[in-house]
Amino acid sequence: MREKYAVNFWKAKRVNYKWLSNIVEGRATLMKKSLPQEITKNNITYRLVKVRDREKYVSENGDLINPYRNQECKISINADGYPCSGGSIPVHLYVAHGWVDGYFEGAEVNHKDFDRNNYKASNLEWVSHKQNIEYTLSNNYNTVCLSKQGTKNGRAKFTEDEVRIIRKMYDEGSSIADIIRYFYPELKTANHYRNIHSNITLIAKRKTWKCLPE
């Protein structure tokens, strides 16, 4: 009798969970279907844009609103210096998809004035990867490229002095593993080791930090 009661109890619980799940999914679907494609707030027009499965209302100037909470989205800066929101998605992607014509498969967003903080639609355009590079090299190489070398690069993990030590140890016969142990005596994960190994190898073999004089 007790076993029968237990079976019926868990069976009923599964039914309730399924019923609740259907309600939640139904509400989510209803919310998505009922979202207008365009809204106006404080005399500013916003368009609904979906990037990497994340939806936002975005204005022509890059103001973002969470469509489900009806509140402004927080902006943070990633390692490459781009303002981002929700899942590290650059704001300029929302703006470009919502307000800039000319998108094609594989297109990239080019900032015409090279200012990553200027994500207004008027400053953006869809270009190919090749066009993006050519635009940078022909218009503003010194400012954009040279200014991001060495420790000025947001992804730099070492200082100039540390890079010199790495190269000196490697040139004198130290293995990459020895150099890693010198800088990181206590590595926590194998994945961390792989990332550091690749980084130090490229530095030691002069594949990166080419701007640093010998």
Tell me: do 65 and 19 sit in the same domain: no
Do residue 128 and residue 81 come from a single domain?
A: yes
Shared domain for 16 and 45, answered yes or no, is no
Is residue 210 in a domain? no
Query: Can you give the CATH number for the domain in which 92 is found?
Result: 3.90.75.20
Range of the domain at 162: 151-204
Query: Is 198 part of any domain?
Result: yes
pTM for the model: 0.58
Tell me, yes or no, whether 23 and 61 share the same domain.
Answer: no
Q: Are residues 140 and 129 in the same domain?
A: yes
Query: How confident is the prediction along the chain (214 residues), in pLDDT tens digits per residue?
Result: 455 444 454 444 454 555 445 544 544 444 455 899 999 999 999 999 999 999 999 999 999 999 999 999 999 988 778 999 977 899 999 999 999 999 999 999 999 988 889 999 999 999 999 999 888 888 765 655 555 566 666 667 788 899 999 999 999 999 998 999 898 887 767 777 777 888 899 989 988 887 777 7
What pLDDT is attached to residue 33? 55
Six-digit token string for 31: 């919310």
